[in-house]
Structure 1
Amino acid sequence: MAHANPLKAAVVASWNLDEDKLARLAQADSDFHAGLQQLLGNDDQAAPEQRRAAMESLLQQQREQLTDVLSDEQLHAYQMLERPRPPMIRHGGPRLDPEQMTAQLEQRYAPLFATWNLDQAQSAKVLNAERTFFDGLHQLKRPDMRGDGESQDARGARFKQLLEQRHSALSSVLDDEQVTAFEALTKPPRGPHHGPRPDGEAPAAG
């Protein structure tokens, strides 16, 4: 897809669509982004309410184009990628309690899990892997994990270990394409030497 970013492309790849559906999806994506560029070009002239209405109109047009290309679950997940992603845990911000974190993770990823036909137990394992990853990131923010070069190296090694542990946990539930898609959606945009950031601060997909 000409306008797809790696996050969206990874999710689409996990659905194993045939060539005809991929072509129609690419056309709908191209049309959407052409409209989005026009909307952004007129941004200074439009009131916020008008911009929101225009965005909803673009999404509705996309829904109509894709209604017989994607399942309802896939279309829901796909269009969530067009919207700005809500913040999860800000770097340096307060730590969410486990129930709050689980609720936010479930709200964000439930539409995608539905496209993969995960049952409740499988979904819980994926969410637990992500929550454990977040807990590890929080530990890396401790003052004793910052400082001289040695502690930075230890921090980098721990960050790599967290990624490997999550990958192993995800691979026990998801197939290769699904693991790739989930890791693309949740990959922190900066490495540990700059302070790892959870996916809530990743650039919006679309």
Structure 2
Amino acid sequence: MAATPGTGRRDAEETKGAIIRVARHLLARHAHGDITLKAVADRAGVSPPLVLKYFGSKDALFSRVMDFEDDVDAILDAPLADLGRHMVRHVLTGQAERGADPILRIVFAPLHGAQGDILRTNFRTQVCARLAERLPGADAGLRAELAVAHLLGLGVMYGIARGPHVRAADIEAVVERCGPAVQAQLTPP
């Protein structure tokens, strides 16, 4: 994290972002109960009291990490007619450039006990239900969940299973193959 020129101080928003990224990383690899504030702070390059200053408590930090509101805007940021391709591109680009896509946190819900229930509830209401609101038709909820299921499977193959063929393929080539399958759920004939 860069210090603000001339002050020797870090930018607060940059530091908060780093803490959240570290907490997401740890939450994707360890049970919630096994993650300490010290581990988050050490990995983020800050002190545990600074984590507490910004977030108040471990539960408050992880409540923020388990929230999808900040992330869903980006994955849904396309016209409905091109949303399938956009969503596929977003998941793959996130994996390729940042090593993760925030939406994929749901895959690790079983690791987190009661916190996993919060993660699942947030995912259903903030991702699936919000997508369903954009879709026409009586079965919009089902189609939204099926579209998201395609994305999760692709994200798991790319980022978790590390499928060598998917990872070696050009992202746009995968978008052209998988985007229409996602789009078929969003705007069926």
Normalising to structure 1: TM-score of the pair? 0.29
Q: Which has the larger radius of gyration?
A: 1
> 1 or 2, which has the higher helix percentage?
2
Normalising to structure 2: TM-score of the pair? 0.31
